[in-house]
Structures are given as structure tokens and as C-alpha cells.
Structure 1
Amino acid sequence: MLHSKALRKREVETLLQLAQGELDHLLQEAEDFPPGEREHLDAFARARGEKAHLQWEGSAVYAWAAASQRFRDQGAVLLNPDLRSRTFAPGKWIGFQPTSVGPATDWETDLGVIRLLHTTRRAAAAAMAEELSETADAQGVVTVCSLFGDIAISGPALIAADIAQPQLHYEAQWGTVTKLVGQRLPWWPDLLRRADVISQWSPGAPVTMAELLPDDEETTLREATGPWHLFPEVRSALTDLANSLHNQRIDSVSSDVRIFGKYGTSPDGVPLLVAAQHPTDGYPLPRIDDRDLLTRGWQALASSQLFEAYEPLSIMMRTDPTLLPFGPRIKVSDHTPAARRWAAQLRPCAPSALHAVLADDAQDVTFHRDVSTGTPAVRIRSADRRSWTFLAPLRLPGRQAQLKSVILDDTVWVSTTDGRIHPAPCTLHDHLWWGHGGGDRPTEAAWVITQLMDDLNAEVTLANHWSHAPQGLTELLSRSHQPGTELSRSALELARAQQYEDAS
């Protein structure tokens, strides 16, 4: 049951139309009554000598009342079990309603008007029911339903709120509303739930073919191509990502139609009516296969110091960061010995768009770059701490150097025989960690370290790391090491060899 308003004892009695003190007798008689609990009092309330009252979750009491013989007239309208056995006259579609919480359709039924909100906005049904309850004319509406965004046992999941008790929302069944209405109910895919689309529908109307409007990110990317008219690779990169996002949203609509069209059926076998789809002509939008071209375009944006590069780059970093030659974003404290050694290798630099994305909304920042790996780094100072945010390298420099040791701190650090220290390289969507993992093992770190021991310049892979990582090295990294622990190459070699000894 969804959580709604908590009710104290007198409020429960008012809901159930009981005399004061009568709830005590009901609690003794009704063993299935929802359990109550003491309200939470903060320290100030306790200091004032206030006592915690017993309270009940309102929606649970409201649903219980609907299922009981004595109180069902005071309970949730659409949970009344009598609805399952009653025969209803066919309902009537009243029309489209542009409400304050989203587009709706109104349906006249034997119970009164049911307003169906075509939105998954949180608490939309309760907000609409409360708004109607405060007006002189509720337009005959007795209950409001909104979409929950998932599929229940009889179709799309619904949240209902009755005009009589607007704050006590509850789960309702699409099949129940279908039975009351007496015909197939229209349903719109999430990205097509627009007033201009829903207002076109009426019973018997053909499926509306509605274009998918660009969202804010797609619009930003397409508008950003203007300032880059002299840089065709940048324009290509921006357009390609905009097309990609649009195609993903089209795929989302198609998936919704496929899933809800197949499973959105009431127990009586009445399917929902898919009221709108997107046109298929011209889709999917074209994509660029030349990965190198796209990478060059995004690298130009990342290194740019133009303000116009920031927002497109932020979108790319959220959607497809593989288009830059770096690993995952990492944040470390600046006071550890490993971080201080690494920071000494960095050079201050003018901020690029990529620096700005890493800094986010931090105010006190300085900008740096690791010349050997090209890694951008931002030092952030706040009132209580100082830290570094950077992108991990995909590979390490130093053709003549070897791995000297590994330091386990905020991240895995690698020191090399040429006197340098680096964050360990990693693939974009993975992580490196160590210590006891409740049955899991840090095979990612063990496999990366193994590859660097064989070739410091290797572009590491984590494919099948759970089977490739040496058993002994995985066991060593599974221990609860103190932060800052440094494991020498000889210790790593000894641990790695343990796997072969065990296998022999």
C-alpha cells in the first residue's frame, strides 16, 4: 500500500464515522485492522513533555474499510468488493480536460464521474482530488485516477484518490475502471502524453500519429551546432548525439506500445486501446559510423574554452562518455600521500569545457592537467574538505618503465620505476576496489594490475575479469587493507604466483 497521510485516533474515528472512543472497541474486535504505531517526536517535542500519539497509515485504513462489510461505504470507492459482482450500465465519455496536473479524460459511470489523469506525476491524483474537493462544483467527479508508470494485474497501474478523502490515495485496478466505463480505455505512451495529442481522441477515433518532440537535451545539441559552423567534425558530433537521443526516445515509445499493448488487458479480456503512436517514416534518424570522426569532434569540444561547449559536453558525459579517451570520473581526498605525490606531477592550466564539467557547481576550484596522460583534474575546496576530481586514464605512459608498486587508497594508484605515480587505468563503466565484499571479490583490480605488471602501457580490459584475474592476487586484494597500504611488486608477484601453485 502506498503511504499517505497518517491519521490519529480521532481522525480514524471521523473517517469511519465512529463516536469518540469507539475505535478502542473496534480494535479489540477487528483482528485484521491495520496496525498502528507511535508517531515520531523530535528532541524538542520530548523536552516539552509531549507524548507520542498512536497513529495509522491513512490509505491502509481506507482500503481496510472498503473491504469490510460494516464500513465499506466509508472506504475507498474503487476498492469496494461489491463492484466485482454488480452489473453496470455502459459509461459515457464526457471529454478531454486540460487540468492543472496534466491532461485528463472524464468518464460518466454509475458511481459518478471518474477522471483519468494521463500522467505519472507523483501525487497527481491526490492533488487533483483535493483541488476539486475545494471547489463549489466538482463537476460530478467522485474519484480521480492517475498512472503509476507500470503494469498491474489488469492493465496499467493506477493510483486513485476520492473527492471525499483526497489525501488518502490508494492503488486501483485498470480493469475496475474499464468495467465501470463499459468500453476499452485509451492509453498513450509516456512520451506522447501531451495535451495536443490527447485532446484529439474520442471513442471510435483512429490512432493518432504524433511526432515525437525533441526534449531539452536534444534541442540544446541541435542549437549548439550554430557556433561551430567552421568546425565540421564538431557539428557532426553534436548532430550524431542529437539523433541518437531522438532514436532512443522513439525506441522507448515503441517499447511502451509493445509491452502495454500486449499486457494491458483486464481480467475480462478487454484490452486497452493504444491511442497514439509515432510515425515510422524517416526513422531511425541517421547515425555516423566513423568513431574516429566523432571522437575528434568531442575532443575539440572538450578542450575548447568557449562557454558554448559546456552544456553539450555535459550532455555527452551523461549519455555516452566513451567518446572521450578517458576512463570513469574519480573523486579523491587531497590529503593522502598518494594524492599529494600525484598532484606534484600536475600542471596548472586554463580551464577547458571538460574542466568545467568536472567542477560542476563548485565555487573554489583550480584547474590542472597531467601532461603525461592528458588527464584533466580539478581541485575543489569546500568549507570542510579539499578533494580532486578527475577522469581516470585509459593507459599509462613510460615505455621504458615498469610497475613498481600499487597503493590502495581512495582509488588504486600505480607507482612506476621512473618515479611517477598515476591513478590506475580502468575501462569506462567499471570500478576498482579492494577489501572484503561479502562474498564478492575485487577481480577487476586484480586483473588490471596483472595486465600492468606484464605491460605498463597496456590499454586494460576488464572482459571476463572474474575468470582471468589470478586467484592469489584476488585473494590479496580481498583483505581489509588500511588506507594507504602500498603493495610492492615482489608482494604482487608472490600473490600472483600463488594461483599457479594452487593449480599444480
Structure 2
Amino acid sequence: MGVSSSYLSKTEVQEMLGVNAFGLWRLVRKYDDYPQPTEPPHNPFAAFGENKEPEEVWDGTQLYRWAAGTPEFSHRGALLLRPLPDDLAPGRWGGYMDTARGSALDWHTALGTIRIVHSDDREVATRVASALVKAGNPDGVRSVCALYGDMGFTGPALVAADIAHPGIEYEAEWGHVAALAGQALPWWPYLLRLPELIREWKPGAAAVVAQVPSNNNEKILRRVESNDAFDVTSHLAVRDMANDIRNSRTDSVEHENEIFGKEGYGETPNPVVIAAEPDTTGHPLRSGGDREVRKSGWHKLALSNHPDAVAALEVAVGREPGLLPYGALTEVPDRPGTIISRWARRLTMCDPTAAHAVLAHGDSAEAFFIDPLTDMPVLRTTGEGRQPAWRFYAPLSLPAGGAELASAVLHHTMWITTSDGHVHPAPCTPTEHLWWGDGWGDRPSEAASVIDALLDDLAATVNLREHWRAPKGLTALFNEEHKHATELTRATLLHARMTPPRTR
């Protein structure tokens, strides 16, 4: 997506403009807007300690655009930025073409054949143009356009690369190309940018109604939904998420068509033809059902050892981790004689579940455990070239049983000791993290917010959506550069909560 950078040496500039060294010297004095040379791109492979003075280079896109707008050199500048002739003959559709970077349509125009590749991947225009040059340009294409991935003033923004200089990309106007083609140009929304749809299009055709393809996540969830190894609650949970994915994808296509098919900024409508619309039969599908029921279904999947449960859980962790009974993923080193080893002594070895498999995330694990007090899955791993470590999900809340917070210990994460002698990783929501010290302008208000809640109720379920509202004194305390193994007693924490931070 976007225009790729290119740089031209002095010799390449002379070749582009058709001038010698003296002519180039003259341009600098004749045109005030002539592009100035720039710093060459950094070359990481340059010889170490090389003191050679870098040669001057010019931004290829900038120079190519300048030439197109300068009468003396417009015939050497960007093809699709040159002024259109007054007696412009209308172009005609040239048919469908396959390219290595996506589906394309050709348009035969007064300036020659323009190939539009319906893709917004990066460097599509220059890659397709370069491939044509290498193949001898058998189709006589003059310029290749690709989608920029944004909206311009006259329609979808375009990136172009001319056959004359395939390594230089520049932005082109959709309306300019449409004027050359003599008609409005077709546009397909991203999820319906399918070869079978683009291949069948012809000028004047009505927008085709097509089913939005399922992505991998929806396919996984539909597979789990039809798997009898899981109960009805789990089926409901995955169906709800699969329906939400389908609704989002259908809504996305409709929204894209609204944006890219809008009439335009002025009185003249944009020359855009919406070529495909989503099939909205039954849309929207039912989703957003009872949250507690869905959470129960996902909890059962997390405890399963079926491979499909692992795949479904990976989708949920990435899409809506709040439905799972687990907090933030945390990893700490295995350190004997520390609070970490004190906590680890109570872990119970177990067979791996889907939650363990997702927690491992492809890394090898020595053993699998469960924390019997919080039911959090834990594994012991040695990553490549690393020391042994414990990896676990932080709990969302702690068991209280009448106890209260005794202290907070800072050792690679925040640990809570309780008045009845237990040690727990501090609770944390799945999308946050607990830390302390100078955060380069940020402040550890998440940790302060957790402590604020636990001081009042050890069993509190933390909510960090408004962590910045944590008491300023606690936030200031955790903003200090505490060493690992620092223990902050209940008295220290209560005092900090009651004490406003000193102004500097």
C-alpha cells in the first residue's frame, strides 16, 4: 500500500530528461522548482569505515512528477500526470488479464494501453510493469496502475508505474484514467476482489451480488460448531463468534462500497462503478448472546484436549479475550529462592489442555501445571537459547477466604502476598500488563489500579478500563525504579494511596 521510494543517480536523471551534464546544470538555474538532490538511502551493506563521499541522488517520483508538469519535459515525465489533449479520443475496454500480483483489466486509450491491477499490495504497479519489460511487453502496455488503498478526489487513489521507467511509482488520479478510458471505471471492495468476479465483468454490467468469503477464523469456528465432541454451550459460543465475524465482514464490504462509490466532492460525480455487492440474505446473523453463557462455553473449550478446541481458542484469544477466564499472558524466569519459586511450589502437574496449548504458542514445554487456588494454566518452558521460565495467564481475581492483601512484591511482574500466607500473581485483565518504573512518559497506573482495588477487597475482579483514575500517590509509588524482589507492605501501600505525590 502506498508509493514505493526510488532514487536516481545524476546519469539516470540525464537519461530520463534527455540532457547532458551541461543541460542538467542549466536546468538548476532555469527552473526554481527543479527538484533538489537528496541524501542517498542508507546502505547497511556498505563497507565498514568507508569514508567515500556519497553521490548525489534525486527522488525518482518527485523528479518524474516535475517533468510531467513542465512543458519542456512533459513528454518525458509521468505518463498519467501529463495534461490531457483537448481533442481526446475515448478509449475502450481491453479485457481481463491475469498478473502475478492480481487480477487486472486493460484499457486501450489515446496514450496507449493502461493496465489496472485490482490490488492494493505494496509495489504492485512497479512489479507488474517490471515483469512486462522483462517479458518484452507483448501487450504493448504503456502504464500499470494499482490501488493505493485510499480515496482520492475523483475516486479510489491509484499508484502508477510506466513501462518507460518501471522502477518509479507515482500517484495517479482515478478521474484522469477514467477520462482516458472514456467511461467510469469498475471498483471491487477488498473482500470481493476475486478473480472469478473480475474476469466476468464487462462495461455496462450491473453489480454482481456475491457471498463474502469466509476467512480462516470463521472456518475454524464453523468446524468446531459442527463437531459433536463439544457440548451445546460450546457450540453456541463458537457460533456466536463465527456469526459476529461474518457480520463484520459483510458490514465491511457495504461500508467500503459507500465510501468508494460516493458521488464526489463537487457537483460532478466520481466516475466509479461498484462492480460487486455483498449477499445480505439473512444479514445480520444472530450474535452477541448472553455473555455468561458464552463465557461458560469458552471455558469448557479451554479445558478440552481436542485439537479443534485449540484452534478455536486461538481465534478467541485474538478476537475477544474477555470471554476467556484468563488474564494477561505473563512469563517470568525460574528463579530459586525467590517469590516466584515460592508460588511455583504449590503448582500441580497435569495433562495439557487447549489453554496450555495456546499458552505455549508453538514453543516447547517441559511440563504443564495448574494453579490449584486460581485454576490458571501454567507451563514451564525453555525457549531457544534461554533459561527456564514459567509462563502463565494472570488470574482475573484472587481467592479471598476472609484474607486481605499483605504486600506487593515486584519480581518480573507484580505478586500479591496475603494475610493467610499465600502468594499469587497479581490479577490483570487480558489486554493490559503490570509494570513499574519510568515508562518514558507513561505511568504504571495499571499496577496502581490493581492494588487500589485489592486493598479494599482481595477478591475484587479488576477492571482496568479507567486505570488512569488510580490514586495519584499509588501511581507515583509504582513510578519509582524499584529493584527486583522489592516488597511493598500493606502499610506502605495504604500510606501511598492516602498521600498526594510531591510536586517537582
Asked if Structure 1 and Structure 2 have the same fold, meaning a TM-score greater than 0.5 normalized by the shorter chain, the answer is yes
* Structure 1 residues 126 and 485, CA gap change in structure 2 (3 angstroms): same
Between 62-71 and 170-179, the greater mean CA deviation after superposition: 62-71
Q: Map 1:397-416 to 2 at 5 A.
A: 397-416=399-418
Deviation at 1:268, TM superposition (A): 4.4
> Is the CA contact 1:264–1:272 (under 8 Å) kept in the aligned structure 2?
no
Q: CA deviation at 1:202?
A: 1.9
Query: Which residue of 2 is the match for residue 184 of structure 1?
Result: 184
Given candidates 441, 450, 453, the residue that maps to 1:451 is: 453
Amino acid of the residue matched to residue 285 of structure 2? L
Q: Matched residues in 2 for 1:356 and 1:89: separation?
A: 64
Distance 2:340 2:157 in 1: 50
What is the one-letter code of the residue matched to 1:56? Answer: W
Q: Compute the displacement of 1:373 (Å).
A: 0.7
- What SS does structure 1 have at the residue aligned with 2:135? coil
Counterpart position of 1:241: 241
Give the structure 1 partner of residue 333 of structure 2: 333
Whether the 8 Å contact between 1:229 and 1:235 is mirrored in structure 2 is no
Alignment-derived partner of residue 356 in structure 1: 357
Distance 1:141 1:41 in 2: 33
Residues 63 and 331 of structure 1, relative CA distance in 2, 3 Å threshold = farther
The answer as to whether partners of 2:8 and 2:58 remain within 8 angstroms in 1 is yes
Of residues 415-424 and 12-21 in structure 1, the stretch that sits farther from structure 2 once superposed is: 12-21
Cα distance in 1 between the residues matched to 2:492 and 2:271: 66
CA distance, structure 1, for counterparts of residue 64 and residue 71 of structure 2: 13
Q: Is the 8 A contact 1:158 1:172 kept in 2?
A: yes
- Which residue in the other structure is 2:58 paired with? 56
SS in 1 for 2:308: helix
Q: In the superposition, relative to structure 1, how do residues 116 and 29 fare at CA in structure 2: closer, same or farther (>3 Å)? A: same
Q: Distance in 1 between matches of 2:392 and 2:434?
A: 15
Q: Residue in 1 aligned with 2:93?
A: 93
Structure 2 match to 1:466: 468
What is the alpha-carbon distance in structure 2 between the residues aligned to residue 263 and residue 413 of structure 1? 58
One-letter amino acid matched to 1:416: T
Q: Which residue of 1 aligns with 2:19?
A: 18
1:104-503 aligned within 5 A: 104-229=104-229, 231-262=231-262, 268-287=268-287, 289-335=289-335, 337-381=338-382, 382-437=384-439, 440-467=442-469, 469-499=470-500
Greater CA drift, 430-439 or 199-208: 430-439
- Residues matched between the structures, number: 499
**Structure 2 contact 189–253 (Cα < 8 Å) conserved:** yes
The 8 Å contact of residues 68 and 74 in structure 2, kept in 1 or not, is answered as yes
Q: For the structure 1 residues 364 and 461, does the alpha-carbon distance in structure 2 shift closer, same or farther, using more than 3 Å as the test?
A: closer
With over 3 angstroms needed to count, the CA separation of the structure-2 counterparts of 1:329 and 1:103, relative to structure 1, is same
| CA pair 116-59 structure 1, distance change in 2 beyond 3 A | same
After TM superposition, the structure 1 stretch with the greater mean CA deviation from structure 2, 109-118 or 449-458, is: 109-118
In 2, Cα distance between equivalents of 1:120 and 1:77? 20
TM-score (norm 1): 0.90
Residue 2 to residue 124, structure 1, CA distance change in 2 (3 Å): closer
What secondary structure does 1:451 align onto? helix
CA distance in 2 between partners of 1:51 and 1:441 (Å)? 45
Cα–Cα, structure 1 residues 164 and 359, in superposed 2: closer, same or farther, change >3 Å? same
Secondary structure at the counterpart of residue 426 of structure 1: coil
**Is the Cα–Cα contact under 8 Å of residues 94 and 106 in structure 2 kept in the other structure?**
yes
The CA distance in 2 between the partners of 1:380 and 1:326, in whole Å, is 19
1:328-365 CA distance string (max 9 Å, x none): 22233334934333323322222211111111121354
The one-letter amino acid of 1:298's match is: W
Which has the higher mean CA deviation after the structures are superposed, 282-291 or 124-133? Answer: 282-291
Distance (Å, rounded) in 2 between the aligned partners of 1:150 and 1:338: 52
- Give the letter aligned to residue 71 of structure 1: F
Question: How much is the aligned-residue C-alpha RMSD, in angstroms?
Answer: 2.8
In structure 1, C-alpha distance between the alignment counterparts of 2:352 and 2:427, rounded to whole Å: 23
Cα contact 1:34–1:60 (8 A) shared by 2? no
What amino acid sits opposite 1:16 in the alignment?
L
- 170 and 245 in structure 1: CA distance in 2 versus 1, 3 angstrom threshold: same
Please report how far the alpha carbon of residue 138 of structure 1 lies from its aligned counterpart in structure 2 after TM superposition. Answer: 3.7
Q: Check the 8 A contact 2:129/2:166 in 1, yes or no.
A: yes
Native 8 Å contact 1:211 1:278 kept in 2:
yes
**Cα shift at 1:76:** 1.4
Long gaps (5+) in structure 1? none
For 2:170 and 2:78, how far apart are their aligned partners in 1?
8
Amino acid at match of 1:316: A
Task: Answer yes or no: is the 8 Å Cα contact 1:302–1:352 preserved in 2.
Answer: yes
* Deviating more after overlay: 264-273 vs 481-490: 264-273
User: What is the SS of the residue equivalent to 2:5?
Assistant: coil
Q: Residue 229 of structure 1: CA displacement?
A: 4.7
Q: 1:287 to 1:435 in 2, by over 3 A?
A: same
The answer (yes or no) to whether the contact 1:265–1:271 under 8 Å persists in 2 is no
Structure 2 residue identity aligned to 1:343: A
Structure-2 separation of matches of 1:23 and 1:112? 29
* 2:10 counterpart residue number: 9
Q: What per-residue deviation string (whole Å, max 9, x for no partner) do you get for residues 233-263 of structure 1?
A: 2333332222221111111111111222236
Contact 1:40/1:52, CA 8 A, preserved across alignment: no
Residue 252 of structure 2: SS of its match in structure 1? helix
Would the aligned equivalents of 1:398 and 1:418 in 2 still touch at CA under 8 Å?
no
Moved more, 5-14 or 237-246: 5-14
Instruction: Name structure 2 gaps, 5 residues minimum.
Output: none
Task: Give me the whole-angstrom Cα distance separating, in 1, the residues matched to 2:320 and 2:267.
Answer: 42
When normalised by structure 2's length, the TM-score is 0.90
User: Structure 1 363/51 Cα, relative in aligned 2: closer, same or farther at 3 Å?
Assistant: farther
Per the TM alignment, residue 437 of structure 1 is displaced from its structure 2 partner at its CA by: 4.3
Structure 1 residues 348 and 58: CA distance shift in structure 2, 3 A: farther
**What's the % identity of the aligned pairs?**
40
* Cα distance, 1:23 vs structure 2: 4.3
Give the CA deviation at 1:395: 0.3
User: Structure 1 residues 415, 21: CA separation in 2 closer, same or farther (over 3 Å shift)?
Assistant: farther
**Aligned partner letter, 1:92:** R
| Structure 2 CA distance for aligned equivalents of residues 310 and 269 of structure 1 | 50
Change beyond 3 A, Cα 1:100–1:493: same
